A and B are shown apart, each in its own frame.
Chain A
């Protein structure tokens, strides 16, 4: 079995150390480690993080292989420093049976670029009416623990309550896409000053906040845990903060784009900024950053949502919602959280690896960088700064809102159980 010595890496941003990988495991962490028989990677002051874990990825396979496949999506993940991604259930067919989740899981195994943990649908066909066979998906080879109708809200209070209760039997969690459907009929962007001017249908903050408020109370009532997907408003932050102070078992994620971009960008009518939940205001962005820093929001999740070019090269109303995010997530987090002094690299490891792995029960991921742990690692050149060029993406889709924008940080190496999936910024 091959050996790799990473020399002079700032582990979680600390003092430079050497990390020796052997047989897929971290064999030793220290200074002046022997390189004998090992392939040496000169880290030269780069930051070494545990492999990133994304709790919210759309891999699109099966059904929309024109926008992404498990293979291209996991290659994008490895490029972005991820070693595990959770694949959302809104595929065609929907991942609401053991058969579909096992298919996705198997495709992930075959890809070899990162671990793919399928998420199962909460309800049959994401229709919100009848519970999917959650237990069967959990017991399948895919071992599903996270369930979500993401893309749609489980808006029926009784169905949501039952789902929260039911998954307790096997330690599952329901990840809610919080969007009150009636309040968001025809919604095209955040409802506020900009939507009033642009004449685009409004997606009010209250449509998210009211569902989150209901669901944390339901979780409390039935003693279950609930996870909030892509939290996007200052009001949602306050509700989650209140729920946590009450001891409710709630976790929440924020996307990189909601940490950086605002609805002012929609003035361009460029659908590359069309996403669900929509880009909010500067005030929301600041509240989200603060909440991620103080732990109210637990994790960063990409909501990587690939779409083919033609679905964005059109008028706003006709365009698909969503942005790709796996290959830019860490850079955006560095820009918004690290370079602003809100988080250190240990904090980034916590929000992008340790905690998402814990919420999703991803064994072998989100582990400390220490001897005996699986060698799932990411090396980041934090001194780098450059313009985003979508032409270089490994993802099959290019719908990034960051084209041409200068961002800091570049993932140079990723190791999945000791096997390099990315070397010097190139996929293996």
Chain B
């Protein structure tokens, strides 16, 4: 494992599988009466959020607390520039308070990379989403969810997602979730297809390790998982698509479309969903939709990442899974 987690593209297959396996161990902690491990006792983690994201911040906070870390939440709305203080100064201020890790969410692509590589601070940096670049823990929790559902909770241990067909639908252009997922799923051996109107695909996408399609209906029958991305209504004002109705007609997932998916296939969404836009209530509330599971899995994945980056060599869970399996 590296010292920071900046991009899903930085993870090897073995790194990723180790994180997923560790997350399974962490998930068992959640089933205990006392959902807490002493692993990060005495370590301080700051959640440095320059962008609003209650879900991601709470997920990290839950993970940190379950590992007994001391948690500082620093929420700075708007960019560092509008705030008048630079990212560098903010980070250095926090480090001076003795922070071991910085979980950063920032509106500018590359801000976590800068934080980790510019010599501003020594703490470990975990990217909790930067601009339209990367959101690696989201990709990890998505892969974790897929492995559980498509391979199996126990059968999946040590396994990747070889041969699984994953379709990601929606605003790829503005999506850090799509970028992270394409990188990680490719590393894990899955076959990824991106589906979107051409306006919502970036120029230069041809080098990505995935297929691209403009046609959702033909892709659905060949999918083991379909991930719907949030599409902001405001995009239509910039002519990315004509109207909300036309978008959902062509690229939204409704009950009829879901019926075209194979029996075992799941529907995923990173949240927050825009019901009636990219996904109908019927699909969102169906058993095949993993949205709530993804949220629960997010805590396990973030525990695993924090443990592996900060925990050192001590075992995360006192009893090993092999004895538990027996």
Q: Which of A196, A199, A315, A316 contacts B208 (CB 8 A)?
A: A196
A185-226 residues at the B interface, CB under 8 angstroms: 188, 191-200, 202, 204
Task: State how many residues of chain A have any CB contact under 8 Å with chain B.
Answer: 23
Contact across chains for B204 and A313 when beta carbons are under 8 A apart: no
Q: How far is the CA of A314 from the CA of B79 in the complex (A)?
A: 11
Residues of chain A contacted by B206 (CB below 8 angstroms): 193
Residues of chain B contacted by A193 (CB below 8 angstroms): 204, 206-207
Q: How far is the CA of A197 from the CA of B109 in the complex (A)?
A: 10
B34 within 8 A of A: no
Stretch from B80-88, B229-237, B279-287, B301-309 forming part of the interface with A: B80-88
A200-B204 CB under 8 A given contacts A310-B86, A313-B86, A314-B87: no
Could you give, for residues 167-184 of chain A, a 1 whenever the CB lies within 8 Å of some chain B CB and a 0 otherwise?
000000000000000000
A242 within 8 A of B: no
A316-B108 CB under 8 A given contacts A199-B131, A199-B179, A310-B86: yes
Instruction: Give, as a whole number of angstroms, the nearest-CB distance from B80 to chain A.
Output: 6
Q: How far is the CA of A109 from the CA of B18 in the complex (A)?
A: 68
- Interface contacts (Cβ under 8 Å), in number, total 86
Could you give, for residues 129-141 of chain A, a 1 whenever the CB lies within 8 Å of some chain B CB and a 0 otherwise?
0000000000000
Contact across chains for B110 and A315 when beta carbons are under 8 A apart: yes
B107 within 8 A of A: yes
Task: State how many residues of chain B have any CB contact under 8 Å with chain A.
Answer: 30
Contact across chains for A316 and B204 when beta carbons are under 8 A apart: no
A265 within 8 A of B: no
B203 within 8 A of A: yes
Q: How far is the CA of A194 from the CA of B113 in the complex (A)?
A: 15
Q: How far is the CA of A314 from the CA of B85 in the complex (A)?
A: 10
A260 within 8 A of B: no
Q: How far is the CA of A204 from the CA of B204 in the complex (A)?
A: 11
Residues of chain B contacted by A317 (CB below 8 angstroms): 79, 107-111, 131
Q: Which of B81, B109, B130, B203 contacts A204 (CB 8 A)?
A: B203
Q: How far is the CA of A425 from the CA of B149 in the complex (A)?
A: 69
Q: How far is the CA of A194 from the CA of B132 in the complex (A)?
A: 13
A318 within 8 A of B: yes
A384 within 8 A of B: no
Q: Which of B109, B118, B208 contacts A198 (CB 8 A)?
A: B109
Q: How far is the CA of A167 from the CA of B276 in the complex (A)?
A: 58
A269 within 8 A of B: yes
Q: How far is the CA of A194 from the CA of B207 in the complex (A)?
A: 9
B55 within 8 A of A: no
Contact across chains for A313 and B108 when beta carbons are under 8 A apart: no
- Which residue of chain B lies nearest to A310 when distances are taken between CB atoms in the complex? B86
Contact across chains for A194 and B204 when beta carbons are under 8 A apart: yes
Contact across chains for A315 and B204 when beta carbons are under 8 A apart: no
A314-B203 CB under 8 A given contacts A196-B208, A200-B109, A200-B110: no
Q: How far is the CA of A317 from the CA of B130 in the complex (A)?
A: 11
B164 within 8 A of A: no
Q: How far is the CA of A199 from the CA of B7 in the complex (A)?
A: 12
- Interface residues of A, Cβ cutoff 8 Å to B: 188, 191-200, 202, 204, 268-270, 310, 313-318
Known: A199-B130, A314-B81. 8 other contacts (CB 8 A): A195-B204, A204-B203, A269-B109, A315-B111, A315-B114, A316-B109, A317-B108, A317-B111
- Interface residues of B, Cβ cutoff 8 Å to A: 79-81, 86-88, 106-111, 113-114, 117-118, 130-134, 176, 179, 202-208
Subset of 27 A-B contacts with CB under 8 Å? A191-B204, A192-B203, A196-B202, A196-B203, A196-B207, A197-B207, A197-B208, A198-B109, A198-B110, A199-B131, A199-B132, A200-B109, A200-B131, A200-B133, A204-B203, A268-B117, A269-B117, A313-B88, A314-B80, A314-B86, A315-B106, A315-B114, A316-B108, A317-B79, A317-B111, A318-B79, A318-B87
